[in-house]
Structures are given as structure tokens and as C-alpha cells.
Amino acid sequence: MDKIKVGVSSEIGLLEGVILHTPGHEVENMTPENAQRALYSDILNLSVATKEYVHLKGVLEKVTHTFEVKDLLRETIEDDRIKEDLVRRICIQEDAASEVEFLLNTPNTLLAIQLIEGVVLRRDNLTRFLSKERYSMRPLHNFLFTRDASMTLWDEVLIGKMASKVREREPLIMEAIFKNHPAFSVKTINPATLTANLGSFPNATIEGGDVQIAREDVLVVGTGSRTSTEGIDYLIEVIKAKKTSQKHIIIQELPDSPESFIHLDMTFTFLDKDVCMVYDPLILKNNKFHTIQITIDNGKVNSIGFNLDPVFCGGKQDPWIMEREQWHSGANFFAFAPGKVIGYERNDYTLDEMSKHGFEIIRAVDLIENRVNPDDFQKAVITIPGSELARGGGGARCMTMPICRQKVDW
């Protein structure tokens, strides 16, 4: 199998490969009582969410190479040594040592499914019989948001350190894939692994929705409920250790509530070389949340010329509309080329603002069925349906993990 050269040095470079996870039964394998524990405010309708997801995947299959987590995982565990190591690590982490033998004897195709959709509790003793839990290993309800558990950072992959226990299995799976799948040849960086030259960061959390590569030398990172300041300290140490040319890190504080502010990319995303989408009340208006710039040069922290034209999520006129469209991932766009992005069709006022900034509005189905070619336009937003997907708390950027992009000619 040919190796894929992993590398991302911007948010907008021409996309050459992306990892997806089509939502399965894990997104509805919950009850109203435990939905909040699963980080959902409601239970998604899988049949509707799947139909909407087909549009996202269909667009990406037209413009780049797509990879499914479930397929990559199945192919990774074809090696019995890797399979055993991953299963044991997961079971130890989740206090499920009694499941090791059962899982190791499970066919690989079914095992890959169970590690994502959950392992049903076998009621083979009194404790298990009386347990109120349905699963010995819970479903990964949030894995459709592939952005968070791993992130391509220049020519390496940073493994996420998740803020919530319910997502802790995701980075184990992604690290196993990147370290062992025959298609990849890439170094991984993991804040959960003690590295002598970087120090220890026991309270570090960092998720991909908070990490954006603006340009080869500019990183924008959010800190809030999912990415801790210690997680960013770890990232700074990683960059310092490389002793490369000057890097700028711009850090944006995020509110702890409402839940739509969980990641930076719910309030700010890049659309083109000189255009970004912003949720104005947080990003541009005066408020109590800090924006901090750190410059790293040759391994040392020293204390940018980067001008961006903002497009306003929800428009400029009505704060209620702005708030409503931000809630439905109106700021969460994913670029597959400079000036070519994907977002939800439901956010009318946001799309109207984009149209005013020269973006052609194209329905996903028209691109998929070859009625429109995005290459015919300088700027375009491909709109996907999102009445159900948006209720999961994320948009197109959340549901995509780029592994390689072409470099941008700035």
C-alpha cells in the first residue's frame, strides 16, 4: 500500500485527504436520562442524520480522497499484535479488564464496530445482572466529530487529550491508526505520554476543534471547556522543542456556556486567504474574554501581519439571529480549497453575508450530481442539509479531520 504523506500547514490549502466517520448506531444508543453524559442535549434521529451526512461525504468524495475511521481501524487490527495492544489499553483505561478475552476473540470487522458502537454488558454474574448500565464499554456517541481526537499539525499528528471521559477511547483508536496503519507514515505527539524533554502536564486537555493552523507560522487556539490552558502550555513546549523558525500562537478565551461555545471553530473559522467567519459578539466586540498572542522563535518564547476580512455569522443586524445561527454551527465552515467551503444550508443570514462577500451558494446535491463545478467559481460555499446533524453540536469542520493539504501560495 502506498504511504500517504501527512501534512497540513493551513486551514484552507487544497485538500488531498480527509478522515470521516459516518454516524452509526452509537449516536442514538442512549436515553434521555444519559444523553447529557454523552455530551448531547437530545437524541439524534439516526435515519435523518445519515441522509444529511451523505451530502457531506458525497461532496468530499468529489473533491478529495476520503477515509472512514471504521475501515482504517479494521485494517489496523489485522495485525494481531496491534489488535491485542489496543484492546488491552482500552480495557485498562475503561476498567473493563474482563472484556479483554471476549474482544480478542471477536472477528476484526465486528470488533471495529463494537469499539465504536459500544460493547453490550454480558450479564453473566450477579453484579452485572443487577447493573443499571447497558454497556460494559459505552458507545462513542461523538466520533462523527473526527476533528477532535487527533489533529494534523504541520507534518505530525497531535493526539487529542479529551476533556470528557466518554470520549477517551477516540484518541486511543486514532493513535493506533496513525502509528500502525500501513497507509500512514507519521510521527504522533501525545500529551498523555510523558516525554522527558517536554515535562509533565497532568491537567492538559486539548481537542481539535480548538486548534487551527492559520498559516505556516500562525496557530490560532481556543481555550475553554474542552482545551485547558495547560493543554496549550504543552503545545507551546512541543513547538519550542522543534527550535524552528518563528511561530505565532494566538489564543482566544471561550465562555464555558452556552454549550455551543465548546470549541473555537464554533465561533471562528477560515474561509480564504484573507476571509474568515466570525461570531461577532465574542471575536470582535469588547468583552471579558482575552485574546493573547505568544511568539516562539528558535525555541524561545518572546513576548503579524495577518489581515482578515470578517464575515459575520448570522449577519450584522439582529443579535437574536446571530445567536441562533451560531447555536446551529453557523460559524463552523470547512475549507477544501482557498475560498471553497462547506457549511449548513439552514443558516440563511450567514449565507446571505457570504453571498455579499462574493461566495457563490451551491447546493451539495448539485455538485454531487455534476450539475455544478466549484472550480468554475473563485469563491463558493457548498451547502449541506443540517436539521438533524446540527443538533449534535457541530458542523462541517467538526466532522472532518484533514490529513494532507497542498501548501498555499500566500
Position 35 scores a pLDDT of 58
Report in angstroms the alpha-carbon separations of 373 from 62, 172, 370, 386. Answer: 10, 38, 7, 22
Q: What is the average pLDDT across 311-332? A: 94
pLDDT at 15: 98
pTM: 0.92
Q: What is the pLDDT of residues 11-47, one digit of tens each?
A: 999 999 999 999 999 988 776 666 566 566 677 889 9
Decide if pLDDT at 154 tops 60.
Answer: yes
Question: Could you tell me the pLDDT band of residue 297, with boundaries at 50, 70 and 90?
Answer: low
Binned at pLDDT 50, 70 and 90, residue 286 comes out as: low
Q: Residue 327: CB partners within 8 Å, gap ≥ 6?
A: 258, 260
Q: If you search the block for the grid coordinates 464496530, which residue do you land on?
A: 113
Give the rounded percent of residues in the chain with a pLDDT score beyond 90: 69
- What pLDDT sits at residue 243? 74
Banded pLDDT at 283 (limits 50, 70, 90): confident
Instruction: Encode burial over 250-288: b for 16+ CB neighbours within 10 A, e otherwise.
Output: bbbbbeeeeebbbbbbbbbbbbbeebbbbbbbbbeeeee
State the chain's mean pLDDT as an integer. Answer: 90
Mean pLDDT, range 245-261, rounded to an integer: 84
Strands 218-223 and 247-253: parallel
**292 pLDDT band (50/70/90 cuts)?**
low
Distance CA 222, CA 229 (A): 9
For residues 89-102, average pLDDT: 94
pLDDT tens digits, 160-202: 999 999 999 999 999 999 999 999 979 999 998 866 566 678 8
Q: Is 60 exceeded by the pLDDT of residue 300?
A: no
| Dihedral over alpha carbons 311, 313, 316, 319 (to 10 degrees) | -160
- Report, as an integer, the average pLDDT of 300-325: 80
The pLDDT score that the predictor gives to residue 303 is 44
**Structural domains of the chain, with CATH:** 15-405 (3.75.10.10)
Q: Please compute the mean of the pLDDT values over residues 88-112 and round it to a whole number.
A: 95
Q: What is the mean pLDDT of residues 62-86?
A: 97
